[in-house]
C-alpha cells in the first residue's frame, strides 16, 4: 500500500530550556489552590511578624533599667564599667601603674580610658590589663588589639594628639612599648581621661527544647592604681561615670577611693561586644518559616501530584528529556520560593517596623539586614529545590514533605536541647544551616556565618537534585 | 520522516513476570491498526516502551525511524493518550493543554483548535476534576492531536464513551488515517474495533498472536461458507453432500455449507427440486474471527494450566 506520509502542519519554535520553564510555570500557576497557598503564606508571615514585634516589645519593657547598650542594634556593644576621669582639653597624656586586680574573672579589665563624652556610644579608646588575656586596646565596636600577655602589676599609658590616641605599655614605667594607635572621629577639644575598670557578667545560659534563658550574675572587679599622672589642658575634679551591669547600683560594692596616691576603683559591667543581645531582625524574620513550610509542601506536590495521577507520563511524553524537566521544575519552584521568601521577609520587617512601641529594629538598608532579607528569599528557594528533589526521589507526597520538613526544622529545635558544641555542629552540617543567613548580629550561639550557612543548604539542594536526576533517568516513569 | 511505529524484539520483565516477550511489529501509515489482547496481555507496557517511559530489557521501538527520546518536539511526531484521567483536578482543561503546547513550542491558538475539534469548547474553562470519563477521553484525544502528528497511539480510546461518542471517535480515527497518518488503538474488546480497525495486532501473554489485515482475517474466518435456509433440511443436506460439500446444521432451519459457491448451491437445489427460502454468504463477526484466532492460544494455556 502506498500512502503519502502525513506531516504535521503546526509550526514549532526552536527547542529551548526556556519553553520548558514556561510550561512548568503554566502548570504551577494554573492550579488555583497552589497560588492561593503561596499568597496566604506570605500574608500570614507578615501578620505574624506584627504580633512578634508587639509581643517582644511588651517583654522587654520590664527587662532591666540599664542604659541603652549601644546605638547600633546591629553591633550590640556594652559600654559599661566604672570610669573615673578628669575633663582635659587639647593633647593629653595619662599614665598609671595597675598595681593589683581582684575579682571579675579572666576578662576583668583595669586600665586607662580616653573618651569624647560620658554618653553611651561616645568615641573612646581604652587600654586595659586582664587577669587571663593580657593587655588589650579597645576602641569603638570593632578595634580589639592585643598587647603583651602579662597581668597586673603593669604600666599603661594613653596619649592623645588631635584625633589620634596611642596606647602603650611598660613593665617598669621607663621603656614603653606601643600597643596600637587609633583614630577617634568626632573627638572634641575636651576629652575625659582617667581610670577604668570593667567586668563581664557571669552568664548562665539555660537551653531547653525551643527556649533559652540567659541569666547574668553581676561580677565585680576591684583594681588599685598608683603612679597616676595626667598631663595636658585644664584640670577638673575627678568625676565618675558608672554604668554597672544590671538595673541597680549597689553603693557598698562599687566605689572609688583615693588614699596616699593609691586609687582604688571597683566596678561591674563590660566594655566590648555583647554576644547575648537579641537579634531582633532575626526574630522578626522567623515568620518566614510559614512561607518556608508552605513552599516545601508545594515543591513536593509539584512533582508527587504528577506521580500520583500518572500525569508525570504526560510530562515525559511532552518532554522526553527528564533531566531538563526536573531542572525546569526546580527553576520554577526556586523562583516561587525566592519570591515567597523575599516578600515574606520584606513584609515582615515593614510590619514590625510599623508596629508602635515594638521591637527596636535596625535600618532596613544596612547590609546585614539586606543580606538577611535577600537571604530569606534564597533560603526558601533552596529549601524548595531540596524538597522538589526529595519529592522526585521518594515520589510520595506525605513521606517527602515529612522528610523535607524534618531535615530543615528538627536540627533547629533539637539544637536548643543539646549541649552548645553538639548543637553548633548539627547546625553547621544539617540543611538547617541555611537559617544562619537570617543572622544580623554576632551572638554567642552563632554556629556558622550567614554566607557559609546558606551555602550548606544550597549544597544539600544541589546534591539532592543530582541524585534525583540520576534516579529519574534510570527508573521507569 | 515515515509515519510508522516499528517495534523490534521488545522484551520487558517486572520482577519474575515477563510482561512483553520478543515483540515485533510495524504500524503502517494510512490505516487504523487495532492492538488487541485481554487485560494484562502487555498492551500498555508495550505502548509505554514505545513512548520511552519504560525501559525495555531488550529490543527497540522507533517512531518514524527514531527513538522517542531523540524527538525534539515529540508532540509533532506522535500523539499519545495513555491514561485519560491523568490530569490535575484543579487545573482547567484549557490550561492542561496550554502547558503542553508551551513545552513543545506550539502556538496557543492550536490549543483552541483541538478543543473545538474534540467538542470540548463549552467545558474547556472548567476544572478538569469535574470531568466525566467521556470528557476526559476527549481531552486526552485533544492532547494527542495538539501537535498535529503523523502518528497517533491511543490506549483504550473508546473506553467510557457513550454510543454517540463511540460513533464520533470511529469517524475521527478513520479520517485521521485517511490523511495518511498511522493510527494505533488498543482495546481489550475486539467488538470495540469492529468497524474502525483496518489491521489487527493480537497480543496474548506478551507475545504477538496475529498480525493481519481485518479483511483477510474475516474472509479466512468466514471461509467459503454459505448459509442456506430451507424447510426441507434433510433433502438439502443429502443432495449437497452428494455434490461434495460439507454441511453443518446450525439453528432451526439453517444449514451452513462449505465447499461450494452460493451459485453452485442454487443450481443444485433448483435442479433437484429442493425448496429453499434464503441463501447468503456467511460473514463472520470480528469477535468470531478473534475466537478462532485465539482458540489455539487458549487451548495451549488450558493444557499448560493442567500440566502445572
Residues in chain A: 477
Nearest CB among B99, B102, B150 relative to A8 is that of B150
pTM of the model: 0.81
CA trace torsion B239, B243, B244, B249 (10° rounding): -30
Residue recorded with cell 513476570: B17
CATH classification at residue B269 = 3.30.70
pLDDT for residue A313? 93
Neighbours of A208 (CB within 10 A): 9
B 30-49 → A contacts, CB under 8 A: 30-31, 48
Query: Average pLDDT, stretch B89-95?
Result: 94
- Same domain, residue pair B144 and B241: no
The answer to whether position B304 is within a domain reads: no
Integer Cα distance of A61 and B158 in angstroms: 74
pLDDT for residue A15? 65
Integer Cα distance of A396 and A400 in angstroms: 6
| Residue B26 cell numbers, joined | 510495524
The answer to whether position B139 is within a domain reads: yes
- Same domain, residue pair B26 and B106: yes
Integer Cα distance of A113 and A152 in angstroms: 17
Integer Cα distance of A19 and A8 in angstroms: 20
ipTM over 0.85? The verdict is no
CA distance B266 to chain A (A): 37
- Same domain, residue pair B240 and B137: no
- Same domain, residue pair B143 and B263: no
Under 8 Å between Cβ of A201 and A218: yes
Residues in chain B: 308
Cβ burial, residue B158 (10 Å; 0-12/13-18/19+): buried
- Same domain, residue pair B196 and B263: no
Three-class secondary structure assignment of chain B: CCCCEEEEEEEEEECCEEEEEEEEEEECCCCEEEEECCCCCCHHHHHHHHCCCCCCCEEEEEECCECHHHCCCHHHHEEEECCCCCCCCCCEHHHHHHHHHHHCCCCHHHHHHHHHHCCCCCCCCCEHHHCCHHHHHHHHHHHHHCCCCCEEEEECCCCCCCHHHHHHHHHHHHHHHHCCCEEEEEECCHHHHCCCCCEEEEEECCEEEEEEEHHHHHHHHHCCCEEEECCCHHHHHHHHHHCCCEEEECCCCEEEEECCCHHHHHHHHHHHCCCCCEEEECCCCHHHHHHHHHHHHHHHHHHHHHHC
Integer Cα distance of A327 and A306 in angstroms: 16
Q: Confidence band (pLDDT; 50, 70, 90) for B112?
A: very high
Q: Number of Cβ pairs closer than 8 Å across A and B?
A: 134
Chain B partners of A31 at a C-beta cutoff of 8 Å? 88, 90-91
Q: Are strands A190-198 and A109-115 parallel, antiparallel or unpaired?
A: antiparallel
Q: Look up the domain containing B63 and give its range.
A: 5-213
Burial letters B213-234, b for 16+ CB under 10 A, else e: ebeebbeebbeebbbbebebbe
pLDDT tens, residue by residue, B69-84: 888 889 999 999 998 8
Domain limit, last residue, from B185, B213, B241: B213
Is A309–B87 a contact, with Cβ atoms under 8 angstroms apart?
yes
Is A30–B51 a contact, with Cβ atoms under 8 angstroms apart?
no
Nearest residue in chain A measured CA to CA from B102: A23
pLDDT for residue B146? 95
- Same domain, residue pair B249 and B147: no
> What is the topology classification, in CATH, of domain A77-273?
Jelly Rolls (2.60.120)
The answer to whether position B295 is within a domain reads: no
The answer to whether position B288 is within a domain reads: no
pLDDT surpasses 80 at B189? yes
CA distance A35 to chain B (A): 11
Domain limit, last residue, from B165, B190, B213: B213
B 91-150 → A contacts, CB under 8 A: 91-92, 95-96, 98-100, 102-107, 110, 143, 146-150
- Same domain, residue pair B207 and B229: no
- Same domain, residue pair B261 and B175: no
Tens of pLDDT, residue by residue, chain A (477 residues): 455 667 777 776 666 889 999 999 999 999 999 999 999 999 999 998 888 777 765 444 333 334 445 556 777 778 888 888 888 888 888 999 998 888 888 888 988 999 888 888 788 899 999 988 889 998 887 788 888 887 878 999 999 888 889 999 988 888 898 888 988 887 888 888 889 998 888 877 776 665 667 777 788 888 889 888 888 776 777 887 877 776 545 555 558 888 888 888 888 888 877 777 778 888 889 899 999 999 999 999 999 999 999 999 999 999 998 999 999 999 999 999 999 999 999 999 998 888 776 677 788 888 889 999 999 999 999 999 999 999 999 999 999 999 999 999 888 777 777 777 788 888 889 999 999 999 988 777 778 889 999 999 999 999 999 999 999 988 887
Q: B66 Cβ partners below 8 Å, 6+ apart? A: B1, B77
- Same domain, residue pair B108 and B202: yes
Is B180–A4 a contact, with Cβ atoms under 8 angstroms apart?
yes
Integer Cα distance of A181 and A273 in angstroms: 20
Looking at A341-350, B155-164, B298-307, which range is the least confident one? B298-307
Burial letters A247-281, b for 16+ CB under 10 A, else e: eeeeeeebbbeeeeeebbbbbbbbbbbbbbbbbbb
The answer to whether position B200 is within a domain reads: yes
- Same domain, residue pair B196 and B243: no
pLDDT for residue A65? 38
Nearest CB among B68, B86, B107 relative to A320 is that of B68
Burial letters A438-461, b for 16+ CB under 10 A, else e: bbbbbbebbbbebeebbbbbbebb
Chain B partners of A34 at a C-beta cutoff of 8 Å? 90
Chain B partners of A474 at a C-beta cutoff of 8 Å? 55
pLDDT tens, residue by residue, B10-54: 999 988 888 999 999 999 999 999 999 888 889 999 999 999 999
Q: A286 Cβ partners below 8 Å, 6+ apart? A: A52, A438
CA distance B4 to chain A (A): 9
pLDDT for residue A383? 96
Name the domain count of chain B: 2
Query: Average pLDDT, stretch B263-288?
Result: 84
pLDDT surpasses 70 at B304? no
Nearest CB among A23, A313, A476 relative to B86 is that of A313
Integer Cα distance of A242 and A236 in angstroms: 18
Contacts 24+ apart (CB under 8 A), A30-37: A30/B91, A30/B92, A30/B95, A30/B96, A30/B98, A30/B99, A31/B88, A31/B90, A31/B91, A32/B90, A33/B90, A34/A298, A34/A301, A34/A302, A34/B90, A37/A294, A37/A297, A37/A298
Please report the sign of the dihedral spanned by the C-alpha atoms of residue B157, residue B159, residue B164, residue B165: negative
- Same domain, residue pair B196 and B252: no
Integer Cα distance of B156 and B84 in angstroms: 9
CATH classification at residue B100 = 3.40.50.300
Integer Cα distance of A447 and A373 in angstroms: 20
Chain B partners of A14 at a C-beta cutoff of 8 Å? 105
The answer to whether position B116 is within a domain reads: yes
- Same domain, residue pair B272 and B189: no
Residue recorded with cell 530569606: A376
Q: For residue A151, give the nearest of A130, A170, A126 by alpha carbon.
A: A130
B 69-88 → A contacts, CB under 8 A: 69, 71-77, 80, 82-83, 85-88
- The number of angstroms, rounded, from the C-alpha of B166 to the middle of its chain's C-alpha atoms is 13
Chain A partners of B110 at a C-beta cutoff of 8 Å? 10
What residues does each domain of chain A span? 17-58+279-474, 77-273
Residues in chain A whose Cβ is within 8 Å of chain B: 1, 3-16, 19-20, 22-24, 26-27, 30-34, 305-306, 309-311, 313-314, 316-321, 474, 476-477
For chain B, how long is the longest CA-to-CA vector? 76
Amino acid at each position: 500500500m502506498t500512502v503519502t506520509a502525513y506531516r504535521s502542519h503546526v509550526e514549532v519554535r526552536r527547542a529551548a530550556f526556556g519553553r520548558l520553564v514556561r510550561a512548568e510555570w503554566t502548570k504551577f500557576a494554573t492550579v488555583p489552590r497552589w497560588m492561593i497557598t503561596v499568597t496566604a503564606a506570605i500574608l500570614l508571615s507578615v501578620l505574624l511578624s506584627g504580633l512578634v514585634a508587639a509581643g517582644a516589645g511588651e517583654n522587654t519593657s520590664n527587662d532591666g533599667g540599664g542604659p541603652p547598650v549601644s546605638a547600633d542594634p546591629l553591633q550590640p556593644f556594652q559600654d559599661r564599667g566604672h570610669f573615673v576621669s578628669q575633663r582635659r582639653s587639647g593633647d593629653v597624656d595619662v599614665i598609671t601603674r595597675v598595681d593589683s586586680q581582684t575579682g571579675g574573672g579572666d576578662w576583668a579589665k583595669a586600665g586607662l580610658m580616653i573618651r569624647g563624652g560620658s554618653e553611651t556610644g561616645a568615641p573612646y579608646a581604652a587600654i586595659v590589663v586582664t587577669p587571663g588575656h593580657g593587655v588589650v586596646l579597645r576602641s569603638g565596636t570593632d578595634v580589639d588589639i592585643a598587647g603583651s600577655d602579662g597581668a597586673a602589676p603593669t604600666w599603661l599609658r594613653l596619649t592623645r594628639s588631635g584625633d589620634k590616641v596611642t596606647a602603650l605599655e611598660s613593665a617598669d614605667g621607663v621603656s614603653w612599648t606601643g600597643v596600637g594607635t587609633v583614630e577617634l572621629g568626632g573627638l572634641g577639644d575636651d576629652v575625659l581621661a582617667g581610670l577604668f575598670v570593667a567586668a563581664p557578667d557571669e552568664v548562665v545560659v539555660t537551653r531547653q527544647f525551643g527556649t533559652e534563658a540567659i541569666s547574668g550574675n553581676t561580677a565585680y572587679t576591684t583594681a588599685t592604681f598608683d603612679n597616676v599622672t595626667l598631663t595636658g589642658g585644664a584640670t577638673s575634679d575627678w568625676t565618675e561615670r558608672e554604668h554597672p551591669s544590671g538595673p541597680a547600683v549597689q553603693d557598698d560594692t562599687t566605689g572609688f577611693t583615693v588614699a596616699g596616691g593609691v586609687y582604688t576603683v571597683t566596678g561591674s559591667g563590660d566594655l566590648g561586644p555583647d554576644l547575648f543581645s537579641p537579634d531582633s531582625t532575626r526574630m522578626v524574620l522567623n515568620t518566614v518559616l510559614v512561607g518556608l513550610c508552605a513552599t516545601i509542601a508545594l515543591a513536593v506536590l509539584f512533582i508527587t501530584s504528577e506521580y500520583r495521577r500518572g500525569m508525570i507520563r504526560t510530562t515525559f511524553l511532552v518532554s522526553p528529556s527528564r533531566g531538563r524537566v526536573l531542572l525546569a521544575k526546580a527553576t520554577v519552584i526556586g523562583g516561587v520560593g525566592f519570591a515567597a521568601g523575599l516578600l515574606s521577609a520584606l513584609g515582615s520587617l515593614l510590619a514590625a517596623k510599623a508596629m508602635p512601641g515594638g521591637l527596636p529594629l535596625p535600618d532596613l538598608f544596612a547590609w546585614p539586614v539586606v543580606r538577611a532579607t535577600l537571604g530569606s528569599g534564597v533560603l526558601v528557594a533552596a529549601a524548595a529545590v531540596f524538597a522538589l528533589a526529595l519529592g522526585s526521589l521518594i515520589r510520595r507526597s506525605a513521606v517527602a514533605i515529612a522528610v523535607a520538613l524534618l531535615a530543615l526544622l528538627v536540627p533547629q529545635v533539637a539544637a536548643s536541647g543539646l549541649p552548645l558544641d553538639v548543637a553548633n555542629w548539627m547546625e553547621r552540617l544539617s540543611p538547617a544551616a541555611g537559617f544562619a543567613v537570617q543572622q544580623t548580629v554576632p551572638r554567642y550561639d552563632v554556629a556558622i556565618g550567614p554566607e557559609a550557612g546558606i551555602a550548606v543548604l544550597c549544597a544539600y539542594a544541589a546534591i539532592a537534585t543530582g541524585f534525583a536526576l540520576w534516579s529519574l533517568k534510570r527508573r521507569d516513569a | 520522516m515515515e509515519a510508522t511505529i516499528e517495534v523490534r524484539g521488545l522484551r520487558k520483565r517486572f520482577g519474575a513476570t515477563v510482561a512483553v516477550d520478543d515483540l515485533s511489529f510495524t504500524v503502517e501509515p494510512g490505516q487504523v491498526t487495532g492492538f488487541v489482547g485481554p487485560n494484562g496481555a502487555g498492551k500498555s507496557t508495550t505502548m509505554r516502551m514505545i513512548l520511552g517511559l519504560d525501559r525495555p530489557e531488550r529490543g527497540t521501538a522507533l517512531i518514524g525511524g527514531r527513538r522517542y527520546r531523540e524527538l525534539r518536539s515529540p508532540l509533532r511526531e506522535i500523539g499519545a493518550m495513555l491514561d485519560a484521567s491523568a490530569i490535575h483536578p484543579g487545573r482547567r482543561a484549557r490550561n492542561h493543554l496550554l502547558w503542553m503546547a508551551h513545552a513543545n513550542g506550539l502556538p496557543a491558538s492550536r490549543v483552541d483548535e483541538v478543543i473545538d475539534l474534540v467538542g470540548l469548547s463549552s467545558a474547556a474553562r472548567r476544572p478538569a476534576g469535574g470531568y466525566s470519563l467521556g470528557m476526559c477521553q476527549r481531552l486526552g484525544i485533544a492532547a494527542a492531536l495538539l501537535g498535529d502528528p503523523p502518528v497517533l497511539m491511543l490506549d483504550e480510546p473508546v473506553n467510557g464513551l457513550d454510543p454517540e461518542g463511540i460513533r464520533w471517535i470511529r469517524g475521527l480515527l478513520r479520517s485521521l488515517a485517511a490523511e495518511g497518518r498511522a493510527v494505533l488503538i488498543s482495546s481489550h474488546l475486539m467488538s470495540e474495533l469492529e468497524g474502525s480497525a483496518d489491521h489487527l495486532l493480537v497480543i496474548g501473554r506478551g507475545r504477538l498472536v496475529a498480525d493481519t489485515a481485518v479483511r483477510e482475517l474475516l474472509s479466512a474466518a468466514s471461509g467459503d461458507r454459505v448459509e442456506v435456509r430451507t424447510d426441507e433440511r434433510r433433502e438439502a443436506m443429502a443432495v449437497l453432500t452428494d455434490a461434495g460439500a460439507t454441511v453443518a446444521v446450525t439453528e432451526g432451519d439453517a444449514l451452513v455449507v462449505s465447499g461450494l459457491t452460493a451459485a453452485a448451491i442454487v443450481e443444485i437445489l433448483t435442479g433437484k427440486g429442493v425448496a429453499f427460502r434464503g441463501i447468503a454468504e456467511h460473514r463472520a463477526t470480528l469477535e468470531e474471527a478473534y475466537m478462532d484466532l485465539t482458540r489455539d492460544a487458549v487451548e495451549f494455556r488450558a493444557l499448560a494450566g493442567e500440566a502445572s
